[in-house]
Amino acid sequence: MRVTNQEGSVLSLKNKVEVFFVKSIKHRKKKGFCMTRDVMSVIIDKWSLIIIYNLGYFENMRFGELKGNIRDISSRMLSVTLKKLEAHDIIQRESFSEVPPRVEYCLTPLGIELAEKTVELNDWFLDRFVQ
């Protein structure tokens, strides 16, 4: 990712980090919390990215489908993680008035962007560290 200043020149890593921190501090003062830390704590856990990638691939999934695709996740952990992702507007939960009740999950536009960015990061890891 290239970061440029107002004159259009590429910034050094030190300057990129400085720009990031200035933006982060402005946001924290405006909103009262650190968005970066809060969002990172949501997605950097054992299950969130796996759920996000499943929804990115299959688009709409029911709870049982997610559970079937994600080995070793408990129903409780899947439920807790889905609620956390929904609370941060990364996924959307849709309930259907049917008998039996049906609930489907999908990525929000923010979730789609997040999935795209994290796939890029994972590709970078694979290209650099997996032989």
- Summarize pLDDT for 12-57 with one digit per residue, the tens: 888 888 888 888 787 777 777 666 777 777 778 889 999 999 999 9
- Assign a CATH topology to domain 47-131: Arc Repressor Mutant, subunit A (1.10.10)
**Arithmetic mean of pLDDT over the chain:** 86
Q: How confident is the model at residue 10 (pLDDT cuts 50, 70, 90)?
A: low
Q: Write down the domain spans for the chain.
A: 47-131
Decide if 3 contacts 19 (C-beta within 8 A): yes
Q: What is the pTM of this model?
A: 0.77
67 touches 55 (CB < 8 A):
no
Secondary structure, 3-state, 46-88 = CCHHHHHHHHHHHCCEEHHHHHHHCCCCCHHHHHHHHHHHHHC
Q: Which two tokens stand for residue 60?
A: 């709409």
Q: What integer pLDDT is reported at residue 33 of this predicted model?
A: 67
Q: CA quadruple 89, 117, 122, 62: dihedral positive or negative?
A: positive
Quick check: 6 pLDDT over 80? no
Q: Coil, strand or helix: which one is 28?
A: helix
Q: Binning pLDDT at 50, 70 and 90, where does residue 104 land? A: very high
